[in-house]
Structure 1
Amino acid sequence: MSLAPRLDLRQSQSLVMTPQLQQAIKLLTLSNLEIEGVIAEELERNPLLESSAPADDSVSAVPETAEVPRDEPAGADELVMAGEGAGESLDVDIAAERFDDGPSESAAERIGDLGPGNGNGSGSGEAIDFDSFADTSESLADVLLAQAGATFDDVDLFVARALIDQIDEAGYLRADLNDVARRLGVSLARVEAVLAGIQKFEPTGVGARDLAECLAIQARDADRYDPMMARLLDHLDLLARGELARLKKICRADDEDMADMIRELRGYDPKPGFRYGGDPPAPVIPDLTVTRARGGWAIELNAATLPRVLVNKSYYSELAGGAQDRAGKTWLAEKLASANWLVKALDQRQRTIIRVATEIVRQQEAFFLHGVAHLRPLTLRQVADAIELHESTVSRVTSNKYLSCARGLFELKYFFTSAIAAADGGDAVSAEAVKSAIRALIAGEGDTILSDDTLVDLLNAKGFGIARRTVAKYREAMGIGSSVQRRRARALQRA
C-alpha cells in the first residue's frame, strides 16, 4: 500500500439546497396569516414588490384564489428559480425530516366542577358575546399596582410591587416568601403582612399560593369560612376523588351541609386573574374552503387571508434606465430576481396546497357527505403516492392549515387517521370514527355508567373490532374519565 500523496477524481451525486429553495420549502409549512408577515418583511426590503395591483398591465401578480373541481388535475409541481436554467422542486426528501402519519392530537383539558359557571345560555335567544366577559384594557398587574399604590407606601409599597411581579396571569403567587424577603432585605413577617393586604385586593382570591388558599380567601370574603369549610378546603383531594363519605366524617357534616358547601365552592373562581389582561384568543381562520359543486367539490384558497404580491416591472424599467454604476446594476438585478422568485414561490405554494387538499377531499368524500362516522383511514403516503409528491412535502402542506366546509372547521391533519379493523372482516374504519362512537355512547349513558368492557361490547356490535386497551386509550385522549371517575362525578352532581 502506497503512502505517497496523489490526486483522485470522483463523481458523485448529492442534494444541494439553495437558500431560495430552503425558504420556499419553509413557506409550505406557514399558514396564510403567517405568510402575511413574511411578505411584509419582503416589501420593506425590496422596492420592486407591491402589495396591490397598479392600474397598468406591467405588473405580474400571484392569483389570489385557485379553484378546482374534485377530479381536476392540479398544476405544475416544480419551482423555476429566477435567473437559473433548471427548476428546483419543492418536493425534497430530507433525511432529517420527521413526520407523522396520524393527526396531531393533544389531550383535552378536563374542566373541574369548581369552575365559576356551568356554561348554560341565558335562554333569551340572543347570541352570547363572550368577548364582553374579558376586559383587555388593563392587565392584572396594572389593576393590582393601582390598588397597591392606594394601600401601601414607602417600604411596604416596594415589597408589594415585588410580590405583584411574581403573580401569574391566573392570579397565583409563584414565589417563595423567604426568597422574596432575603432578596429585598426585609423581614419575613413584613412580606407576609404585605401579602395579606394584597389578598384583600380585587379580584377576590388573587395572591393565593394554591387552590385551597384561593378558595379560602373567597370564602372569607363571602363570610362562609367556618371550621367546617376550612376542613373541607384542607381535603380538596378527597372532594376531587368523590369520597363524600370520608369528607362528611372529617368535616362532621351531614348530607345537607356537605351539599351546601359544595354548591358554595362551585360559585367561586379558581383562577381569578383571568378576568383581567391578556389578549383575547385569536379565532382560527381557514386557509381553504370546500363547497359542494356540480359534479364534484369546489376547493379554493381563502382570498380574505391570502396575501397578494406584485412585481412592478415599470418601476424596474425606470430604475434600470437611469445612470448606474456596476454595483447599482448588480443590486437592481438581485432585487428583481428576488421579487420574481417570491412571486413564483407563492404561486407554487398555492398550487401544491390545492393539489394536496383536492386529494384529501377525494379520499374522504364520504366524510364530507355523511359525517365523521364515515371518515376513512388515511396516511401521508397514500396522498403522496396519489399526487406524486414526497411524504415530507405533504406533511409540510398539511401543517398549520385549516379547512372550512359545511361540517365545520378542521385542521388538514385531522383527515389522516390510523385504521381500526372491522369486527365483521370488512373494510377498516378510521380511529376518529371510533372516537366519535365512544363519545356518543358515553354522552348517552344516563344513570347507567358504561365500563370499558361494556363499551367494547357495544362497539363490536356496531362493527368495530377494538380491544379494551384501545378504548381506554381513546377515552383518555378525549379527556373522558374512567367509569369510576364518571360515577363519582355523577354522585357529586347529585350532592
Structure 2
Amino acid sequence: MKPSLQLRISQHLALTPQLQQSIRLLQLSTLELNQEIERILLENPMLEREGGEDDDGAVAPVAEAPVALAEEFSGESLPRGDEEHEAPGVTEMPDNISDAYESVSDDDIGEAAEWRNEGSSGSRNNDDEDADFQEFQAATTSLREHLLSQIALMPLTDRDRALVQLVVEALDDDGWLNQALDELLPLIPAEWDVELEELEIALHHVQNLDPVGIGARNLQECLLLQLRGLPEGEVRQLAMGIVDGNLELLAARDFARLKRRLGCNDDALRAAQELVCSLNPRPAAQFADTDTRYVIPDVVVRKVRGAWSASLNPEAMPRLRIHRVYADILQNNRGVSSSLSSQLQEARWLIKNVQQRFDTILRVSQAIVDRQRQFFDHGEVAMRPLTLREIAEELELHESTVSRVTTQKYMATARGVFELKYFFGSHVSTDTGGACSATAIRALIRQLVAAEDSKKPLSDARIAELLGQQGIVVARRTIAKYRESLNIPPVSQRKSI
C-alpha cells in the first residue's frame, strides 16, 4: 500500500450559527422565546424592545413585519418609531431559510427545553415610566401554621404542647400521619421519658383540630373522623357502617351485599352513599401550595364574514429593533469597534428569525383551521383525522418543521385554548370507506356515557356496537383504551343503586 490523493464530490448541509438560531427559535414556546430574548438583550447592546423605558421616538425600526401583523390583528396602527434612521452595511438574511427548515432533522440541533406552562406579562404602560408593576402571589397560611395557631389556644402543659407539635410536624401534605407513633419516639429526647400512650393522647388532640379528619392514619379513620363530627341520624349511622368495614363493597358497587349487611333499603343506602362520597379524603388539600400557570396563545381564531381565520396574538409577539444610538456610533465610526458590527449583525439576524418564526406559525395555524373548520363549528365530534405530513405537503415544508411549529404553541378558539398538536390524530375507517378521527370517537364515547342509564351502564362491547351502528368500526379493546384516556371508570364502577 502507498499513499495517494483522491478527489471526491459530495453534498452536505452546513448549519451556520444563524440557521441554528432560526431553527431553535422555531421550536421554543412563548415563555422560552421571551427568556431567550431577555438573555440576548442583556448581552447585545445593539438590540432593544420597542416601547421600552428609553423610548424617545428616535430609534431605527427594523421589525416591521411583527408590527404589520399586529396591526392586522387589532385593526389599529401601532407606533413604529422614526423611519428615517436605518443601520447601514448589514447583510440581509437569505430568502431560502424556509427551505433550510425542511432539510434539517430534530437530531441536528438537539431537543427543545421542557415546556413550563407559564404566560408572559403584558405590555408596559409608557405613560408612567416610574411605575413598577409586579405580580405578587397572595400570602397563604400553611397547614402547619393553621394547626399551631389552634394549639396555642389549647390549655396544655409545655410538655403536652411539644408532643402535639411533634405530631403536627409528622403530618404529610394531605394531613395524614403516615408514620407509626412508635417511630416518633426516637425523635424525642430520652430525658423526657415519653410513653407511647402520651403520643396517642397528643394524636387525639390533633384529630380534634380543624380541618376535620386531620391526623388520620388511613382512609377509613379519616372518613370516620369526619362522620363523627356530623349530627347524629340514621343516614350518618349507615354511612359509618359503610366506612367501618365495608368500603371495599362500596368501591366495587356491590349494593346487594351492602343492603344485606346493613339491613337497609335502596333509598337509605343511596343517602348513605352520597354522604360518604361527600367526605374529603384529603382534609389538608386546601392548604397545599398551588402554582397556577397560564398560557398566552400564539394564535387567535375568529370567524370573519362566515369564515374561520387565524391571526397572530400581539401579546405573544416580542417587538424588537436596533438601538439607534449604537447604530449611529457604528455608522459614523466604522473602524472604531469590530465587536459592535458583529453585534449589529447578530441583532438583525435575531429580528429576522423572530419574524420568520411567527410567519411560519401563522401559515401552519391557518392550514390547520382550513382542515378543521367542522371542529370550530360543531365541536370534537366533527374533528377530522389529520397528520403532520398533510400539512407539510400543503405548505411545502418538512414534517420536522411542522412538528416544531405545533409543539408548545397554542391556539385560542371559541371552544377553548388548544395546543396545535391537539388538531392532529389518527383515523379509524368507517363502513362507507371514509375515516373518523380518534378525537371524534372519544367525544362520542363521552356523549354515550353521559347519556347512559346509571342503573344499567354501557359496557365497552355495547359502546362498540353503538358506534358500529353509526358506521364506525372500533374494537372493544380500542374503546377501553379511549375510555381510560378520558378517565371514565369501567362499567362496574359506574353502576348506581
1:171 to 2:178 alignment: no
Among 60, 63, 75, which residue is 2:62 paired with? 60
| 374 and 65 in structure 1: CA distance in 2 versus 1, 3 angstrom threshold | farther
| TM-fit CA distance, 1:85 | 7.6
- For the Cα contact (< 8 Å) 1:421–1:429, is it kept in 2? yes
SS of alignment partner, residue 473 of structure 2:
coil
The DSSP-based 3-state class of the residue aligned with 2:302 is strand
Other-structure match for 1:125 = none
Is 1:196 the equivalent of 2:194? no
2:132 corresponds to which residue?
A: none
Gaps of 5+ in 1: 70-81, 100-133
Distance 1:147 1:20 in 2: 62
For 1:179 and 1:7, how far apart are their aligned partners in 2?
78
Question: Any idea what the Cα deviations from partners look like across 1:377-430, whole Å, max 9, x if unmatched?
Answer: 1111111122122222212211222222234332211211111111123x2121
Name the residue aligned to 1:142. Answer: 145
What do residues 10-58 of structure 1 show as CA deviations (whole Å, max 9, x unaligned)?
A: 7665555456544543433333344333333333333333222441351
Residues 26 and 198 of structure 1: CA distance in aligned 2, closer, same or farther (over 3 Å)? farther
- Asked if 2 retains the 8 angstrom alpha-carbon contact of 1:67 and 1:299, the reply is no
- C-alpha change, 1:364 and 1:179, in structure 2 (3 Å) is same
Amino acid at match of 1:182: P
Equivalent residue number for residue 94 of structure 1: 106
Q: What is the Cα-based RMSD across aligned positions, in Å?
A: 3.9
1:95-142 CA-partner distances (Å, limit 9, x unpaired): 48999xxxxxxxxxxxxxxxxxxxxxxxxxxxxxxxxxx986323343
Task: Kindly indicate whether the alpha-carbon contact (under 8 Å) linking 2:93 and 2:352 is maintained by their aligned counterparts in 1.
Answer: no
* Structure 2 residue ranges without an equivalent (≥5): 73-89, 112-136
1:441 aligns to what? 448
- Higher relative contact order (Cα pairs below 8 Å, separated by 6+ residues): 1
**Structure 2 counterpart of 1:204, one-letter code:** V
Q: Conserved in 2, the CA contact under 8 Å of 1:66 and 1:350?
A: no
Residue 226 to residue 97, structure 1, CA distance change in 2 (3 Å): farther
- Answer yes or no: is 1:25 the counterpart of 2:23: yes
Which stretch of structure 1 is more off in the superposition, 35-44 or 163-172? Answer: 163-172
Distance 2:243 2:267 in 1: 14
TM-score by length of 1: 0.74
Structure 2 equivalent of residue 282 of structure 1: 293
CA separation of 1:253 and 1:450: change in aligned 2, threshold 3 A: closer
Name the SS of the counterpart of 2:62 in structure 1.
strand
What residue in structure 1 maps to residue 422 of structure 2? 414
1:391 aligns with 2:399: yes
Instruction: Describe the shift of the 1:98–1:167 C-alpha distance in structure 2 as closer, same or farther (beyond 3 A).
Output: farther
Match of 2:340 among 318, 328, 332: 332
Q: Is contact 1:228–1:251 with CA below 8 Å preserved after alignment?
A: no
Change (3 A) 1:442 1:144: same
- Kept in 2: contact 1:65–1:301 (CA 8 A): no
Q: Distance in 1 between matches of 2:238 and 2:270?
A: 16
- 1:182 alignment partner, one of 181, 186, 204: 186
CA drift at 1:239? 0.9
2:302 aligns with: 291
Letter in 2 for 1:45: E
Q: Is the 8 A contact 2:93 2:349 kept in 1?
A: no
Say if 2:431 is the partner of 1:428. Answer: no
Amino acid at match of 2:303: R
2:310 is paired with a residue whose SS is: strand
1:236 aligns with 2:272: no
What residue identity is the alignment partner of 2:37? I
Query: How many equivalent pairs are there?
Result: 437
2:116 aligns with none
Alpha-carbon distance between aligned partners in 1 of 2:263 and 2:4, rounded to the nearest angstrom: 94
Q: Distance in 2 between matches of 1:215 and 1:304?
A: 48
| Worse overlay, 354-363 or 9-18 | 9-18
Q: Which amino acid aligns with 1:144?
A: L
Q: 5 Å matches for 1:44-123? A: 44-53=42-51, 54=55, 55-61=57-63, 63-64=66-67, 66=69, 89-91=100-102, 92-95=104-107
When normalised by structure 2's length, the TM-score is 0.74
